[in-house]
Structure 1
């Protein structure tokens, strides 16, 4: 349990470190700006950070723990590009919350999917996380240049892949969870599900209050 708390604090500590936009809200104008924004955005909110951690833990118990997270990364980049081009995926926020519940629940269950279904799951959720990242670029007045966008995509891909691998290594090493059924690994999944439930309540809080008041 002590090791689990340490891992949770480590994941949480990543957010304050980059909780403010790396550019202080200024527009992205250079490759370096795009790169810094790409590195910062995946840890701006618990939704992306904890999903990537859960994905890394789930991947750690497959035969392809180093390559499985790439299914998410590739799809995430596609989703980001689609959003930047004006193709928004429906109900992205709801699906992102669902991704925490589903992948967190998978890890909490102590079972591991076979490789292909897991890759498909990572890819589907990657599209929606990418769409959310693309909104930051699509919302910038005047758009961004090719170099800025390239830097942004590189930053997004690199930091999330690194976080996924780090979560897997921490679970197997720090928490000494060598199998998907290990109690410590399952507790990580439960923690991610808890974050998903919290964010889900935040989503329904506004509409629910409006219905009650109205």
Structure 2
């Protein structure tokens, strides 16, 4: 838990890395898909913080290993839909909201019912997956089946491992440490919200 909190400034300061798991090179092989699928959620601090929070919440709800599977399934579905051209609206706003909601609940040491937790994981998973899918759909010339399978495999495996790892870390952490981690995640969500409204606010002020 302490290592995650100490590493947070690095990820917050480096959001651009999320779009370059292969240093900007196009994905052309199964291996490229795997590497990009692993790198995207790890280097994308918004996705990484959510997955960590999800793992902590899964631990608090008593379903450390099962609950993240609902997110993984929905995330893969959202990614596949986006790749097929069915993009969800307000993706960035919902991703920011996912951090605020889960982070806020953890900071308050609340989990809600198991059903609510699973629904939240699945609902937010669709939007995170849609963002992942948009990145591969935007690749010039498209991506072949091998690339897509590798990408989805990498996405699913790495995020599940991160979530389970975060849950195991939370098991060893004190309640205060867990709450601080939740507050940090919620703070990142607020930062993302402010970043999204910054442009329109500046434009409105300039027009005035």
Please give the TM-score of this superposition, normalised by the length of structure 1. 0.90
Residues 30-53 of structure 1 deviation map (CA, whole Å, 9 limit, x = unaligned): 000000000011023221010111
* Aligned counterpart, 2:189: 196
Q: Distance in 1 between matches of 2:23 and 2:177?
A: 38
For residues 135-214 of structure 1, what are the structure 2 equivalents within 5 Å?
135-173=134-172, 175=173, 177=174, 182-214=175-207
Aligned to 1:124: 123
The structure whose residues are more often helix, as a share, is: 2
Range with bigger deviation, 18-27 or 45-54: 18-27
Unaligned runs of 5+ in 2: none
| Partner SS, residue 17 of structure 2 | coil
What's the counterpart of residue 97 of structure 1? 96
Q: Residues of 2 paired with 1:45 and 1:56: CA distance?
A: 17
What number of residue pairs does the alignment pair up? Answer: 204
CA–CA distance in 1 between the matches of 2:9 and 2:171? 19
Whole-Å separation in 2 of the counterparts to 1:94 and 1:10: 24
Cα separation, 1, equivalents of 2:11 and 2:193: 22
Aligned to 2:54: 55
Please give the alpha-carbon distance, in whole angstroms, between the structure 2 residues aligned to 1:209 and 1:142: 36
Cα distance in 1 for partners of 2:176, 2:200 equals 37
Do the aligned residues in 1 keep the contact of 2:50 with 2:99 (CA within 8 Å)?
Answer: yes
Query: CA shift at 1:61, angstroms?
Result: 1.5
Whole-angstrom distance in 2 between the partners of 1:11 and 1:77:
26
Give deviations 1:112-134, integer Å, cap 9, x for gaps: 22211100000000000000000
Q: Pick closer, same or farther for the CA change 1:10–1:172 going to 2, 3 Å.
A: farther
| RMSD, matched Cα | 1.8
Looking at structure 2, the residues matched to 12 and 166 of structure 1 have their Cα atoms a distance apart, in angstroms, of 20
Paired position in structure 2 for 1:25:
24
Gaps of 5+ in 1: none
Change over 3 Å in CA distance of 1:14–1:172 after alignment to 2: farther
**1:6 maps to 2:3:** yes
Offset from partner CA, 1:54-110 (integer Å, 9 cap, x none): 110000122321110110010000000000000000101100000000011111111
